[in-house]
């Protein structure tokens, strides 16, 4: 496919923040004088209906709800990602990617219908007030949330709020109820979950999303690993659902040579626009393997496609989600907004990232499971009629999503009935919490991985878990199941308990790595990393 003239250099992206309305971080205001074209009569029909309903309908009506429903129904006739967002949902979606939010500054999980503080963000209101890891949150203001089956997202909304506003949090600590009053503030949200050296020359970075701070965080993480001797990088984008487009451009630019295309976009009313690397990236000489799966989407796919089509590295894992639509934000004065699809993203070879959206679109992931794609490369949905070629002439295929160079199936062999029963009851997670309660003083002070590993070996997690599963959940392994389950269970237990140390998520990913088939496949095929 011929490239358009006047394609943008990445420098233009940095200076001009890219083509105005096409980037997801741009806010569009709808002005009263906005005019419709020849289809105006159709829009006028909708307005007249709403007016007549308001004036003449027999019962009281929620006009706002009716209007919202009408807009949502209209957009439902388009693609799956053109949507109307009410004020609360729009605010939450923007907050998620902003790099910060207004709140109290804690991470928590809910293993037993009670929110338990997993970590306290340094410098945040919770730390200043005195909340600590392991506290159980009983009440937020006057609402009891412990033991009431309060949804986790509702708990989050109760604790969040405008900076400067006050909130009362009551926690249970060692059986004692302790009230705290704190003032909400801006809380930073990190998108780099972990970064460390796997061995003397191989670094690992786990990125959860593409937020406003992604480039900054990734640059700092990669600089740290370079100073430690990194020659190759395992870049983990599994379950990364994407985010800001410009951040995907900036990260891609770090790995590519001058003139290498990163991506292009094109739509019915949007002429093709190319985005190229400027050749000044700090990681051009670092070998890279990108880890993907069915949860890898949007900006993550842009990055993976750029690496693959330029033959810059290998892609390891399972076929990505297949979301490659350019969303134009249209925001209204009431705080609501529309995300309208105006173009599609294409990889440098010409592949459209977006998978087809038909009547089964919402169930595509389930279909992948049903058809065996998660366990067999031969079952992978590949459009063999849509053949494209990388810079070096390798064949790659369209059909939606990024197809990995090295397929890694989901391992179902480790799923003994004992293991499945424990997973269903979240036994491992609750056991990890009990271990923190038991060894809180020791775990809270460990910040060295080798020391953490020695500590977990010394406390004999295996025996303690076996006892806990039987005593608390009534789960006992059948003959031979314990020996079969243990090699996979132990790394999981160490990862979950280790998360309560000062190492946090780094401990989790490091402990789980020996049984992470995708990581192991990337390490095994290191000779194929360009």
Give the model confidence (pLDDT) of 112-129 as tens digits.
788 888 778 777 888 888
Each residue of 344-357: pLDDT tens digit?
Answer: 999 999 999 999 88
What's the pLDDT tens digit per position in 442-486?
998 899 999 999 999 999 999 999 999 999 999 999 999 999 999
Strands 406-407 and 314-317: parallel
Nearest partner of 350 among 317, 387, 320, judged by Cα? 387
| pLDDT on residue 24 | 34
Looking at residue 5, its pLDDT comes to: 40
- Give pTM, 2 decimals: 0.81
Q: Helix 449-458 vs helix 481-498: angle between axes, to the nearest 10 degrees?
A: 140
Residues 277-283: what's their mean pLDDT?
Answer: 95
Query: Does the pLDDT of residue 226 top 60, yes or no?
Result: yes
SS3 112: coil
Give the rounded percent of residues in the chain with a pLDDT score beyond 90.
52
Q: For the chain, which domains are there?
A: 100-188 (2.30.42.10), 192-410 (3.90.226.10), 417-519 (no CATH)
Residues in CB range of 56: below 8 A, 6 or more apart: none
Question: Which residues have a Cβ under 8 Å from the Cβ of 445 and sit 6 or more positions away?
Answer: 502
State the DSSP H helix or E strand holding residue 173, giving kind and residue range, or none if neither.
Answer: strand 166-173
Contact 508, 498 (CB under 8 A): yes
Residue 381 has a pLDDT of 74
Q: Provide the pLDDT for residue 97.
A: 65
- Going by their DSSP bridges, the two strands 270-276 and 8-9 should be labelled as parallel
Residue 486, exposed/middle/buried by CB under 10 A (0-12, 13-18, 19+)? middle
What is the rounded average pLDDT of the residues 184-205? 92
Closest CA to 250 of 25, 12, 26: 12
158: Cα separation from own chain's centroid:
23
**Under a CB-based contact definition with an 8 Å cutoff, are residues 251 and 215 in contact?**
yes
Question: Which residues, other chains included, contact 208 with Cβ-Cβ below 8 Å and sequence gap of 6+?
Answer: 191, 192, 193, 239, 240
Over the stretch 289-317, which tens digit does the pLDDT of each residue have? 999 999 999 999 999 999 999 999 999 99
Per-residue pLDDT at 70 exceeds 50: yes
Instruction: Of 500, 366, 493, 508, give the one whose Cα is nearest residue 446.
Output: 500
Classify 29 as helix, strand or coil.
Answer: strand
The closest of 397, 395, 406, 303 to 351, measured between CA atoms, is 397
DSSP code of residue 516: -
Q: 136 or 301: which carries more pLDDT confidence?
A: 301
How far from 460 is each of 454, 463, 478, 490, 512, CA to CA, in Å?
A: 10, 6, 21, 10, 17
pLDDT at residue 66, rounded to an integer: 87
| pLDDT at residue 429 in the model | 86
Confirm if 155 and 161 have CB atoms less than 8 A apart: no
What is the model's pLDDT at position 388?
A: 96
Q: Residue 423's pLDDT is what?
A: 87
Is residue 334 very low, low, confident or very high in pLDDT (cuts 50, 70, 90)? Answer: confident
Cβ contacts of 293 within 8 Å, gap of 6 or more: 238, 239, 317, 318, 320, 518
């Amino acid at each position: 496919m011929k490239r358009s003239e006047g394609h943008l250099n990445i420098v233009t992206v940095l200076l001009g923040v890219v083509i105005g309305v096409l980037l997801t971080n741009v806010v569009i205001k709808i002005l009263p004088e906005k005019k419709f074209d020849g289809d105006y009569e159709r829009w006028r029909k909708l307005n007249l209906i709403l007016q007549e309903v308001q004036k003449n309908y027999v019962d009281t009506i929620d006009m706002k709800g009716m209007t919202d429903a009408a807009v949502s129904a209209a957009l439902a006739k388009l693609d799956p990602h053109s949507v109307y967002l009410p004020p609360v949902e729009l605010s939450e979606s923007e907050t998620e990617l902003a790099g910060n939010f207004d709140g109290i500054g804690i991470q928590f999980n809910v293993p037993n219908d009670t929110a338990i503080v997993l970590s306290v963000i340094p410098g945040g209101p919770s730390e200043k007030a005195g909340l600590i890891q392991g506290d159980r949150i009983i009440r937020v203001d006057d609402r009891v949330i412990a033991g009431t089956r309060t949804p986790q997202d509702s708990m989050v909304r109760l604790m969040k709020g405008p900076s400067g506003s006050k909130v009362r949090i009551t926690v249970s600590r060692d059986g004692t109820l302790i009230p705290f009053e704190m003032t909400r503030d801006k809380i930073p949200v990190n998108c780099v979950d972990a970064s460390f050296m796997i061995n003397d020359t191989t670094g690992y970075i786990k990125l959860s999303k593409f937020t406003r701070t992604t480039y900054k965080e990734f640059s700092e993480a990669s600089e740290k690993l370079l100073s430690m001797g990194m020659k190759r990088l395992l870049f983990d984008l599994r379950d990364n659902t994407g985010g800001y487009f410009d951040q995907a451009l900036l990260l891609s630019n770090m790995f590519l040579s001058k003139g290498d295309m990163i991506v292009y976009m094109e739509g019915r009313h949007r002429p093709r626009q190319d985005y190229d690397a400027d050749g000044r990236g700090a990681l051009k000489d670092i070998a890279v393997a990108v880890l993907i799966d069915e949860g890898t989407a949007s900006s993550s796919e842009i990055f993976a496609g750029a690496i693959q089509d330029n033959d810059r590295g290998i892609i390891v894992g399972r076929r990505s989600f297949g979301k490659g639509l350019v969303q134009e934000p249209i925001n209204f004065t009431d705080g609501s907004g529309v995300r309208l699809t105006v173009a599609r993203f294409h990889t440098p070879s010409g592949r459209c990232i977006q998978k087809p959206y038909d009547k089964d679109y919402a169930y595509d992931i389930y279909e992948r499971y049903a058809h065996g794609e998660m366990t067999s490369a031969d079952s992978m949905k590949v459009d063999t009629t849509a053949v494209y070629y990388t810079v070096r002439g390798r064949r790659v295929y369209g059909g939606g999503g990024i197809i990995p160079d090295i397929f890694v199936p989901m391992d179902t062999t480790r799923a003994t009935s004992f293991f499945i029963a424990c997973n269903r009851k979240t036994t491992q997670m609750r056991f990890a919490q009990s271990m923190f309660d038991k060894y809180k003083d020791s775990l809270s002070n460990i910040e060295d991985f080798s020391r953490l590993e020695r500590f977990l070996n010394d406390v004999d997690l295996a025996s303690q878990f076996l006892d806990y599963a039987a005593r608390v959940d009534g789960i006992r392994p059948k003959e031979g199941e314990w020996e079969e389950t243990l090699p996979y269970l132990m790394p999981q237990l160490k990862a979950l308990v280790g998360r309560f140390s000062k190492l946090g998520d780094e401990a989790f990913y490091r402990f789980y790595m020996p049984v992470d088939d995708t990581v192991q496949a990337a390490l095994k095929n290191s000779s194929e990393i360009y």
